[in-house]
Amino acid sequence: MFLWVLLPETQLNYFKIILMRFLPFVITILTIMNSNLNAQSGHRNPLTEEEKHVILHKGTERPWTGKYLENKESGIYTCKWCDAPLYRSKDKFDSHCGWPSFDDEIPGAVERRQDADGLRTEILCANCGGHLGHVFEGEGFTKKNTRHCVNSISLNFKPLQQTVQSSTTETAIFACGCFWGVEHYFKRATGVISTEVGYTGGTKANPTYEEVCSHSTGHVEAIRVTFDPSKTSYEELAKLFFEIHDPTQTNGQGPDIGPQYLSEVFYLNEDQKITTERLIGILKQKGLRVATKVRPATTFWPAEEYHQDYYSKTGGMPYCHFRTARF
């Protein structure tokens, strides 16, 4: 605590910015160090018969069935048997081969060995020797020209999102039409640290844009906002939400018609729910027939990369979102 007292305000703000920027990196290192301690201690997790078939007896799980095939969360993939860290989420890519693919491993984590068939190269956990899969080179999927084809059943996953989330930041999730325009406004709001567009509220895991647009998954286009509560509040962001779209429209937003464009708030705690309902009450008192739904947050699936920060990339401007003072 004494550090905060001694630092001048300008230096303190700078220190906080540096801390927030490097916090995910520090936590990644700590996660790897903790996993390494477990692995080096000789720790081994109990395995099911199915896991033994792959990890100990070098079997292969059926393609397109693996738990982590379509996982896009940020985190560290570790060995199922000994917990040694093996792969980082940033090195994972979609090769459409039916198994999780990585174009790099954590240095020293994976051992390569000539396969018994004499044709392929087997990859194993360098700590415990557990079978992971095979590695292929020269396919041209990524610039590294390497594909680690790994069985999901050989892995565990440690997400960073919840760990990185600290008391210095909070999160809000809103849906109010095409997420391109929504992000345009939120990323410019005071106190917002980061924004990410995606899909939520539906039934299918990891939906694609095309699937959401087909109206078969139940998702809406949404934005996840990470903000600094010392510089703004959930209420201020919720007010912005209600002012950049028409909360009375029941069939979409502006010219974008369809259930994926409905107005919804996904609250992460009771305070967010109460605040949202109070603001809706104010709008109703002003004569607005608010159609916005208020629902508990469910899994938020990040949208494809080309949707992220769309207008900044293209130089365009929102066509169905315009701010109107309502409070």
Residues taking part in catalysis: 149, 178
**In angstroms, rounded to a whole number, what is the distance separating the alpha carbons of residues 130 and 127?**
8
The gap from C-alpha 73 to its chain's centroid, in whole angstroms, comes to: 4
**In angstroms, rounded to a whole number, what is the distance separating the alpha carbons of residues 237 and 254?**
21
Q: Is 267 exposed, middle or buried (0-12, 13-18, 19+ CB in 10 A)?
A: buried
DSSP code of residue 261: G
Phi (first) and psi of residue 259, to 5 degrees: -65, -20
Q: Is 65 exposed, middle or buried (0-12, 13-18, 19+ CB in 10 A)?
A: exposed
Please name the residue that has the structure tokens 């509220």: 201
Instruction: Label each residue of 196-226 as H, E or C.
Output: EEEEECCCCCCCCHHHHHCCCCCCEEEEEEE
CB of 220 within 8 A of CB of 265? no
